[in-house]
Amino acid sequence: KAGVTQTPRYLIKTRGQQVTLSCSPISGHRSVSWYQQTPGQGLQFLFEYFSETQRNKGNFPGRFSGRQFSNSRSEMNVSTLELGDSALYLCASSFPTGVGPNTGELFFGEGSRLTVL
Amino acid sequence: GEDVEQSLFLSVREGDSSVINCTYTDSSSTYLYWYKQEPGAGLQLLTYIFSNMDMKQDQRLTVLLNKKDKHLSLRIADTQTGDSAIYFCAESGGATNKLIFGTGTLLAVQP
């Protein structure tokens, strides 16, 4: 069974540009969540999607957005990049909590490492 | 607000047991997790425990939960050099996949 797949794995952008990151969840998983990892702030929750709807959002500016498609794949977008957006962006998938078999298992991908110059 | 705390560093000798500790503040936590992160990699789910459990054992891993003190620990028996990594504790309310992570504990295993 394939794991959570994130693309691209590495990318370099300049300030002011925008970036789109992609996440394909484990087959059968319908809930996708995104996290940002930086040395200074650690791991922080960005947002969570289920059935193409955003269920929860972390404390990030509006430049950070996301969406989920009907096949459960998800993308996140960061516009007007700042130096501080340099981070490892991690996607996680699971069965939806509260619906169906809730095992509590939340699996992460390898991440997309974004460097903003 | 919600907060999860861990000690930053633990050093053990190969073959010894490692115990990584974590405290959390959210009394409504439903699931508590342990993840492992190796350099340049994502997060690997090691184990998790439901909040109505006191203990969970999975091969070399033992998780203990003291809900009264909001204290979680991960014991790794017979620690190997391949266990060297950063270990993250996390909690969630269960109705959502919003995890609150600790700062991570760097485990260094000396041969």
B31-49 pLDDT, tens digit each: 899 999 999 899 999 999 9
Q: Which two tokens stand for residue A64?
A: 């950070």
pLDDT tens, A31-62? Answer: 999 999 999 999 999 999 998 999 889 999 99
Provide the pLDDT confidence category of residue A100 given band limits of 50, 70 and 90. very low
Which residues from B are below 8 Å from A51, CB to CB?
none
Give the best residue of A95, A97, A112, A115 to mutate against chain B (max B CB count within 10 A): A97
Contact (Cβ atoms closer than 8 angstroms) between residue B111 and residue B45: no
List of residues 6+ apart from A13 with CB closer than 8 A: A19, A81, A114, A115, A116, A117
* Cis peptide bond upstream of A8, omega within 30: yes
**From CA B57, how far away is CA B65, in angstroms rounded?**
12
Nearest-angstrom CA–CA distance, A7 and A75: 10
Q: What is the mean pLDDT of chain A?
A: 92
Count of all residues that appear for chain A in the document: 117
Residue of B26, B34, B43 for testing the chain A interface, max A β-carbons within 10 Å: B43
Residue B50 has pLDDT above 60, yes or no: yes
Cα angle: B63, vertex A42, B9; to 5 degrees: 55
| Cβ separation B48–A105 shorter than 8 A | yes
Identify the band that residue B74 occupies on the pLDDT scale cut at 50, 70 and 90: very high
Chain A nearest-CA residue for B91: A104
Query: Does residue B23 have a pLDDT over 50?
Result: yes
Question: Cβ distance B14 to B109 under 8 Å?
Answer: yes
Inter-chain contact B97–A92, Cβ cutoff 8 Å? Answer: yes
Q: How confident is the model at residue B110 (pLDDT cuts 50, 70, 90)?
A: very high
Per-residue model confidence (pLDDT) at position A102: 52
Neighbouring residues of A64: CB distance < 8 A, sequence distance ≥ 6 = A46, A47, A76, A77, A78
